[in-house]
């Protein structure tokens, strides 16, 4: 299903363009971080790729096919949890897959162990803290062995320790063979995780390239302004 080629993708819900011709090519490897100001359409882009919004104009080409051939999972900024146990939340996510009960149990146990929630298996998911909920959401996504994982600000309201735990899990999911496409406003996180950066503003991709090049020499005025605004100090950008 890779490379994923996005061409001229537009989303204009009420006649006002949120995305106005997004062109982007993503390989099937690594972690791609989408940066951009509030309202740039980052969440919309992820939702369009996940098939959660009707695409308007434009084309998605998944490695030569109109639809993704591999599994796709998405984790939202405020993950929803079912009024069930932690264990049942993961098992539920596996229902659409034709797995034997033993295999379903094995996978559930494995991902809960890997996100550090094995001891909480029997607890109600409603009792989890924000950081624990986010780890549960990642476990649910991980359990289905996605080829593409979409993460929308997965650490938006988490403390540094919980953020580090999520980042470790994201890296492990990547190592397990998933392409990661994520958004964040945490620039430290972007430098820690990203192989490449997509900078979205004014409805379009303004820049796409290796993360180190982006942070050292952002090319667009919009990216420079964004980076200056998000950081507590002024960066003297080389020209
Ligand atoms: N389903 C929808 N119908 C109409 N408008 C929408 C819909 N979804 C998003 N929008 C609008 O699209 C714009 C972009 O929203 P989006 O949530 O993608 O921004 P974002 O880049 O994720 O911002 P943030 O950094 O604040 O999360 C917003 O103005 C939002 O109100
Ligand atoms: Mg958003």
Q: Kindly report the CA angle at 129 between 123 and 133, in degrees rounded to 5? A: 75
CB 181 within 8 A of CB 189: no
Region 40-51 average pLDDT = 97
Q: How deeply is 201 buried, as exposed, middle or buried, from its count of CB atoms within 10 A (0-12, 13-18, 19+)?
A: buried
pLDDT tens readout for residues 91-127: 999 999 999 999 999 999 999 999 999 999 999 999 9
Confidence of residue 147 (pLDDT cuts 50, 70, 90): very high
pLDDT tens readout for residues 75-88: 999 988 999 999 99
The pair of structure tokens assigned to 32 is 């791609």
Q: CA-to-CA distance for 96 and 179, rounded, in angstroms?
A: 21
pTM of the model: 0.95
Q: Classify residue 232: in a domain, yes or no.
A: no
pLDDT value of position 234: 60
Nearest to 152 by CA among 21, 59, 36: 36
Q: For the chain, how long is the longest CA-to-CA vector?
A: 59
Residue nearest to atom 28 of ligand 1 (CA): 39
CATH code at 61?
Answer: 3.40.50.300
Q: What is the mean pLDDT of the chain?
A: 95
Does pLDDT of 238 surpass 70? no
pLDDT tens readout for residues 193-224: 999 999 999 999 999 999 999 999 999 999 99
pLDDT value of position 12: 95
Q: Higher model confidence: residue 229 or residue 182?
A: 182
Q: How many domains does the chain have?
A: 1
Reduced to 3 states (helix: H, G, I; strand: E, B; else coil), residue 62 is strand
pLDDT value of position 228: 84
Does pLDDT of 233 surpass 60? no
Q: Classify residue 235: in a domain, yes or no.
A: no
- Does residue 203 line the site of ligand 1, with CB under 6 A? no
Interval between CA 135 and ligand 2 midpoint (Å)? 19
Q: Which of 10, 14, 19, 42 to mutate to test the pocket of ligand 1 (most atoms within 8 A of CB)?
A: 42
**Residue 45 vs residues 18, 23, 203: alpha-carbon distances, Å:** 10, 11, 10
Q: CA-to-CA distance for 146 and 149, rounded, in angstroms?
A: 6
DSSP state of 205: E
Confidence of residue 139 (pLDDT cuts 50, 70, 90): very high
Which residue shows structure tokens 């791609």? 32
Q: Classify residue 162: in a domain, yes or no.
A: yes
Q: Classify residue 231: in a domain, yes or no.
A: no
Domain containing 41: what range? Answer: 4-222
Q: Higher model confidence: residue 54 or residue 114?
A: 114
Q: Classify residue 47: in a domain, yes or no.
A: yes
Q: CA-to-CA distance for 220 and 176, rounded, in angstroms?
A: 34
Positive or negative, the Cα torsion across 132, 133, 136, 142? negative
DSSP state of 65: B
Interval between CA 43 and ligand 1 midpoint (Å)? 6
The pair of structure tokens assigned to 67 is 């639809």
């Amino acid at each position: 299903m890779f490379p994923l080629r996005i061409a001229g993708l537009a989303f204009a819900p009420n006649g006002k363009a949120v995305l106005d011709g997004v062109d982007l090519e993503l390989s099937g490897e690594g972690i791609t971080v989408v940066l951009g100001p509030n309202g740039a359409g980052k969440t919309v882009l992820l939702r369009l790729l996940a098939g959660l919004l009707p695409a308007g104009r434009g084309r998605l080409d998944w490695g030569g096919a109109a639809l993704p051939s591999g599994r796709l999972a998405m984790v939202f900024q405020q993950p929803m949890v079912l009024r069930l146990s932690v264990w049942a939340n993961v098992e539920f996510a596996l229902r659409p897959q034709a797995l034997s009960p033993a295999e379903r149990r094995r996978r559930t146990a494995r991902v809960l162990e890997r996100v550090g929630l094995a001891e909480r298996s029997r607890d109600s998911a409603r009792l989890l803290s924000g950081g624990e909920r986010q780890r549960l959401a990642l476990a649910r996504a991980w359990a289905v062995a996605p080829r593409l994982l979409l993460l929308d600000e997965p650490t938006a309201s988490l403390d540094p320790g919980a953020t580090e735990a999520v980042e470790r899990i994201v890296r492990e999911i990547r190592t397990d063979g998933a392409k990661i496409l994520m958004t964040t406003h945490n620039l430290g996180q972007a430098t820690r995780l990203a192989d490449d950066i997509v900078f979205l503003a004014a409805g379009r991709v303004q820049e796409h390239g290796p993360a180190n090049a982006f942070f050292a020499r952002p090319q667009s005025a919009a990216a420079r302004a964004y980076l200056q605004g998000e950081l507590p100090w002024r960066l003297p950008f080389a020209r």
